[in-house]
Structure 1
Amino acid sequence: MIHLTPTILAIDLKDYMLPCLNKQLFGLDCPGCGMQRSIDLLFHGEFMAAFKMYPAIYPIMVLLVFLITSTFFKLKYSSQIKLGLMLITAGTIMISYILKMNNLFN
């Protein structure tokens, strides 16, 4: 029986993921832990699981798309939009990391 799954890439990215040096040395997650697995989940079409794995994945994607398109198209408020997107992304990373560490130690 053929199973059709919504995948973008046929390769399995789990074979190529880098280990977290912070986790190996100190035994604690870093603010970026989960990003690689979240990207892998996105490529496999599991959007909610990707968000649960790493909540900052979507603000990072929006920021990257904006940065790429702003190199080709000049917008009037480009620097303000870029700053706002960077603050939202950094805030999402920090808040999700604090919540993750709070759940770890409770």
Structure 2
Amino acid sequence: MEEHMLPCLTKNFFGFECMGCGLQRSLVALFQGHFTEAFVLYPAIFPLVFLGAVIGINLSFGLKYANRIISVLAILSVTTIIVSYILKLTT
């Protein structure tokens, strides 16, 4: 699976990582059961996975408070992505 990953165009063209760098590697680590490594590679992986799961469950079954849950998970995901990106740039 690692051989078929897409390269980051931002990193290739401009020389610095984008906000999505590490997501593919983190997903591979998550599928392999390396949860700590997945978090280290991309800290927003868990909120994004939960967000995707809630959206999928809502589309299939319809949750009562789906809009509220999805909004909270989306805000948490975006906040985690931005904070981790800023920390990555400053270290």
Rg larger in structure: 1
**What SS class does the counterpart of residue 17 from structure 2 fall into?**
coil
- Larger helix percent: 2
TM-score normalised per structure 1 = 0.82
The answer for unaligned runs of 5 or more in structure 2 is none
The size of the alignment, in residue pairs, is 91
Is the contact made by 2:57 and 2:63 (CA closer than 8 Å) also made in structure 1? no
Q: Deviations over 1:31-51 (max 9, x none)?
A: 000011111111221110110
Residue 53 (str. 1) matches residue 41 (str. 2)? yes
**C-alpha separation in 2, matches of 1:42 and 1:79:** 26
State the Cα RMSD in Å: 0.8
Among 7, 32, 41, the alignment partner of 1:19 is 7
Shift of 1:53: 0.6
Output the TM-score relative to the length of structure 2. Answer: 0.95
Q: Helix, strand or coil: the match of 2:76?
A: helix
1:42 maps to which residue? 30
Distance in 2 between residues matched to 1:17 and 1:35, nearest whole Å: 10
1:75 Cα shift? 2.3
Which ranges of structure 1 fall in alignment gaps of 5 or more residues?
Answer: 1-12
Alignment partner of 2:13: what SS?
Answer: helix
Deviation at 1:78, TM superposition (A): 1.5
